[in-house]
Amino acid sequence: MILVAILGARGLAGPAASWFAVALPVLLLLIAGRLGELERRAVARRTERRRPGSPRTDPAKLAEPWYRTFDAVSQGQQLGRGPATHPILGRAGAWLLAGATVLLAYLALPIVLAGVFGPVLWSIAVPKFANTQEKLQLALAAKPYEVAKDSAITVAAASRAYALLVNARFRDTRLLRPVPPPEPVPWDSQLAEGLFPTARPRAYNGPHNVTILEAVPRGFSRAEMDYLSRVARAGVWRHVATVARAPQVDAVGGRYVTPFPPTVTAHELPIPMFANTKALAYAASARAAFHLAQGRPDSAETALREMLSFGFVMAEGPTLIETLIGVVIVGIARTNLIQLWTITGDPRGARLRASHDSALAARETRDAAAVAADEGYIDAGAMRAIAVAGAVNPRHIRSLRLEMLMTLGLAPCTNASELVFGPALDVREAFARARREVARFPSELALVDLMEISAERMRYFPPRGVLGRAVAGAGSLGGTLLGNPRIAGCSRLVSAMMGNLY
């Protein structure tokens, strides 16, 4: 079994070899038993049955007469009586065998626990995504109203601009490309009392994004126009315009330093805090209100369409939360565009509303089935199939495929076979397809590679509790002896799960 585990860790043996590891010892045991039986029959003598009532013979009393007889007949021979002491070597061998058995059982603990906790891991790791696809489909009704792309904007410039808008909002800045601190904006502080009485703040510190446009026909005070002017001229909008008009944005490359350090896992990559990013969408309505109040409806439209385009860029980001926030931003910008075009009498407002209503009606007919599919995640095999299908489906959004790949990176931790022999063919093919179909930049290739070795990198996670440290210790020792870092990594993950469950 140990030999098979070592060969499996090096890719020299597959799961079929595990049958050999079990069958060979059993076969040898049967052969040994049969040979012993043949020997007993060949050399054993008949023993006389002890008569009823006859005294039992004490072997200890027979030892000394036997030795005297042996000495008498062995005169001149080199062979002596043998040691008269206790069989220390035999006892030591027995203790060593018992210790080796306990050690092997301890080293096998992570492999056994992988089979026990594997189904639980699938239920935790597979994301519930029923509404994500539907929300994006609903948002796509506004796709024709994006601003035109500018081929002069490079991927590097767009990625830096995106990082300036997002990276500065991280709490955990490890692994991130350094960016300048965010520029101050008027909505960083609370709106002064008395300003915009019909558009007081709700979702952020600035004027309400819906009622501020409705207030334009009624006019604004000088103090209110001064505030709107500062919003419209904030430097942050040039970064929004760069991202919105860029043909491509490398969110991963602009966010993280690649190649990734050798001790980091994909699960440790910091996730952006999008509250301030979403505030940009609300503030864009105040920017549009300023231009509209100045008699520049085209500029007001551009401000909202740039925000709409920015939301679509976010929706194509590498994480599901990024997609969801991007969809929310698209929804805010769409609502304000419809409102602006209604105020200005532009027929595009009615067309956009009709497109949205049509997409909404179509979505409602699909939601029940999608939610039912999410709630049906019970069987581990079915959840694994969902993860594989989600990772390879070209109709799924990029962030969903990447999230499923991150889950599949932990597949070796869900069963003993993949823990010993490595990911199965379906998982390997899913990662191969992602490299061809999902990754667009070297940074995204590095991210896919990092996800694929998640099970190995988990060995850097700290264990929790006495039991967790015992399991992690068994995995570290076994992984080192067998040359299999998956065992060490998955033992850390299992120990963390045990800490949460017990």
Q: Give domain status of residue 490, yes or no.
A: no
Structure tokens at 455: 């099970």
The mean pLDDT of the chain is 83
Q: Give domain status of residue 283, yes or no.
A: yes
With beta carbons less than 8 A apart as the criterion, state whether 165 and 239 touch: yes
pLDDT band at residue 109, thresholds of 50, 70 and 90? confident
User: Mean pLDDT throughout 307-325?
Assistant: 94
User: What DSSP letter does each residue of 140-187 carry, written as one string?
Assistant: GGGGGGSPPP-TTS-HHHHHHHHHHHHGGG-S--TTBPP-PPPPP-GG
Q: Give domain status of residue 181, yes or no.
A: yes
Cα–Cα distance measured from residue 158 to residue 243, given in angstroms and rounded to the nearest whole number: 5
Q: How far is CA 455 from CA 267, 296, 413, in A?
A: 11, 56, 7
Least confident of 37-51, 69-83, 204-218, 431-445: 37-51
Question: Which comes out higher in pLDDT, residue 189 or 472?
Answer: 189
Sign of CA dihedral 454, 459, 464, 469: positive
* Residue 256, helix vs strand vs coil: strand
pLDDT band at residue 46, thresholds of 50, 70 and 90? very low
Cα–Cα distance measured from residue 386 to residue 126, given in angstroms and rounded to the nearest whole number: 8
pLDDT above 90 for 354: yes
pLDDT above 50 for 48: no
With beta carbons less than 8 A apart as the criterion, state whether 228 and 216 touch: no
pLDDT above 80 for 330: yes
User: What DSSP letter does each residue of 29-47 carry, written as one string?
Assistant: HHHHHHHHHHHHHHHPPPP
Closest CA to 327 of 336, 340, 314, 317: 314
Question: Which comes out higher in pLDDT, residue 455 or 248?
Answer: 248
Q: Give domain status of residue 308, yes or no.
A: yes
Q: Give domain status of residue 429, yes or no.
A: no
pLDDT above 60 for 221: yes
Q: Give domain status of residue 51, yes or no.
A: no
Question: Which comes out higher in pLDDT, residue 451 or 490?
Answer: 451
User: Mean pLDDT throughout 152-170?
Assistant: 87
pLDDT for position 379: 74
Q: Give domain status of residue 411, yes or no.
A: no
pLDDT for position 373: 47
How confident is the model over 127-144, as pLDDT tens digits? 766 577 788 888 999 999
Q: Percent of the chain at pLDDT above 70?
A: 77
pLDDT above 90 for 247: yes
With beta carbons less than 8 A apart as the criterion, state whether 448 and 482 touch: no
Sign of CA dihedral 198, 199, 201, 202: positive
Q: Give domain status of residue 125, yes or no.
A: no
pLDDT above 50 for 47: no
Least confident of 168-177, 351-360, 381-390, 454-463: 168-177
pLDDT for position 20: 52
pLDDT for position 369: 47
pLDDT for position 99: 84
> What are the helix (H) ranges across 316-464?
320-344, 348-375, 380-392, 398-408, 416-421, 425-437, 442-452, 454-457
How confident is the model over 458-497, as pLDDT tens digits? 876 777 777 778 888 888 888 888 888 998 888 888 887 7
Domain tally for the chain?
A: 1
Sign of CA dihedral 90, 96, 99, 103: negative
pLDDT for position 236: 96
Q: Between the CA atoms of 354, 343, 280 and 319, what dihedral angle is there, to the nearest 10 degrees?
A: 0
Task: Domain of residue 248: give its range.
Answer: 130-371
Which amino acid is it at 448? V
Q: CB atoms < 10 A from the CB of 368, how many?
A: 10
User: Mean pLDDT throughout 112-126?
Assistant: 79
Cα–Cα distance measured from residue 363 to residue 347, given in angstroms and rounded to the nearest whole number: 25
pLDDT for position 235: 94
